[in-house]
A and B are shown apart, each in its own frame.
Chain A
């Protein structure tokens, strides 16, 4: 009696939450494929909205993908050596540095964007370039890359492995290449997928940093929600889902895998 009453209540809440989260997604997908939203599905399914979205926003989509890759490259170049440095030097200074670079996770993107604009907004060339948006993306995603790799490195006896390699004649660079990077791979993979996923979906920072010529996918979405008809907005959202959902699932799989290794 106890079990079934409580269980039913829990199940009901769970299903309700699922419905709340999932139904709008389904609606959005359908609306993007329906000829006329007012008439409903009876008006037939069509791809014309998706095609129109592509014609309108292809540039934004490509820009987002380009930014995501550039962001990945930057976070790898900055974050991988940094994670190694932090793992080999676990003092209070390193913790402070780690906390500091995690500020963009705590501070709203809006505030960060404002700060960047105040300092660099007057540099015309930089301000109008896609690299300005890239800086925002890297700021936001770098802590994820660093933490992901750091977690994996901290769970192996890095110091002794490196001493072993050093005793065999390996220089610091050779040890980094042959020992550190291969053993950090699960963290690098999880971090990479996280960075790409978050970069594609980033809005708060990007909205403040973008220019009329540089619109990313989420910025285009906001555009379409404000000014386009519902079917186009939905179709655009559908395109976004198609991009992001596989990435999201890959990211969750890779993160769970890396977590198991650190256990």
Chain B
């Protein structure tokens, strides 16, 4: 099913603009992530698509060729996984999963068959008869997913599906979720504030900030070609190099860098893995911190820019705190982005 949103906005009665007029398209079977910090409007947008919030006048939401804007949530045939899972405490796992099918008034035998099918897909057979309260966090998440998918909805919506879990579980369950979503072969939109999650699971990511979608693209596109400082900073933690640009040279406190293009009126960003420590390099700075992260060192360097910049260093040896070192940055790894008045 394809989703098309046009001019969709949400203003609350007290005047707060949770969502500015937004357009969004999602293709059949695509998995899209709405990524952004809290308060950026991603959950509002998801709830509008679900039908749990009413958007402002002029908004239009199309599922394939149906204008679903006036429809309430119970008629939109969407499957939703809530952040707290919203499992019904008065029903068993089986009954929870079968609830949507019961609402569709399917015959009992078919409900049984479908529920069993979904239980298998989500590896929940051993828990079928259990009460909700007897499940672990990971099991609950799978039940919530199974319940949403069992009625074969047109679209799957997930609100921070992994945030209620322990950090240790999140990594494994993230991969499981990605695999399951592809198995379901369904159009899906999920909301998250965790960029690793978005990039691991989604086909396309829409980065949101303060009620607007700033940029949409594949994870690689967003990472390598951010179009605004916010996206550069949020996806991949790019650092801004504050200095004076003159033509294709950037003059910093710690030296001069060659830019890939003229730098006037732009902010220059670089990612930590592109900041190279070596014996020769046009920049010179002092090592402030050295953090060992197993696969690499993260080195905090002062003196090159007014802020401390970080370098990911994958060698066996790392410089010591207090050392003076040389730093080189290849011009093609520098990102020039327009200066933004309002940065998140």
User: Does chain A touch chain B in the assembled complex, meaning CB atoms less than 8 Å apart?
Assistant: yes
A10 at the binding interface (Cβ < 8 Å): no
Given A168-B147, A169-B100, A179-B88, answer yes or no on A163-B52 (Cβ-Cβ < 8 Å): yes
* A163 vs B86: C-alpha distance when bound (angstroms): 8
> Contacts of B103 on A, CB cut-off 8 Å?
168-170, 174
Choose, from A121-129, A138-146, A153-161, the stretch at the interface.
A153-161
> Contacts of B52 on A, CB cut-off 8 Å?
163, 166-167
For the residues of A in contact with B, the DSSP-based class is helix
The reply to whether A167 and B79 form a contact with Cβ atoms under 8 Å apart is yes
Choose, from B4-12, B69-77, B201-209, the stretch at the interface.
B69-77
The reply to whether A168 and B151 form a contact with Cβ atoms under 8 Å apart is yes
The reply to whether B90 and A182 form a contact with Cβ atoms under 8 Å apart is yes
B99 at the binding interface (Cβ < 8 Å): yes
Query: Could you tell me the distance in whole angstroms from the C-beta of A263 to the nearest C-beta in chain B?
Result: 15
B15 at the binding interface (Cβ < 8 Å): no
B80 at the binding interface (Cβ < 8 Å): yes
> Contacts of A160 on B, CB cut-off 8 Å?
82, 84, 86
Query: Could you tell me the distance in whole angstroms from the C-beta of B84 to the nearest C-beta in chain A?
Result: 6
The reply to whether B89 and A166 form a contact with Cβ atoms under 8 Å apart is no
Q: Which of B74, B88, B104 contacts A166 (CB 8 A)?
A: B74
Query: Could you tell me the distance in whole angstroms from the C-beta of A262 to the nearest C-beta in chain B?
Result: 14
**Chain A positions 30 through 41: 1 when the CB is less than 8 Å from some CB of chain B, otherwise 0:** 000000000000
The reply to whether A156 and B89 form a contact with Cβ atoms under 8 Å apart is yes
Query: Could you tell me the distance in whole angstroms from the C-beta of A162 to the nearest C-beta in chain B?
Result: 9
The reply to whether A166 and B90 form a contact with Cβ atoms under 8 Å apart is no
* A194 vs B78: C-alpha distance when bound (angstroms): 43
Query: Could you tell me the distance in whole angstroms from the C-beta of A149 to the nearest C-beta in chain B?
Result: 15
B213 at the binding interface (Cβ < 8 Å): no
Query: Could you tell me the distance in whole angstroms from the C-beta of B147 to the nearest C-beta in chain A?
Result: 7
> Contacts of A164 on B, CB cut-off 8 Å?
80, 82, 86-88, 147
Between-chain CB contacts (< 8 Å), 15 pairs: A160-B82, A161-B88, A164-B87, A164-B147, A166-B72, A167-B50, A167-B80, A168-B79, A168-B99, A169-B74, A169-B100, A170-B103, A179-B90, A182-B91, A183-B90
Name A's B-contacting residues (CB within 8 A).
Answer: 156-157, 160-161, 163-171, 174, 178-179, 182-183, 185
Closest 9 CB pairs of A and B: A164-B86, A168-B100, A169-B103, A182-B90, A167-B80, A160-B86, A166-B73, A166-B74, A169-B74
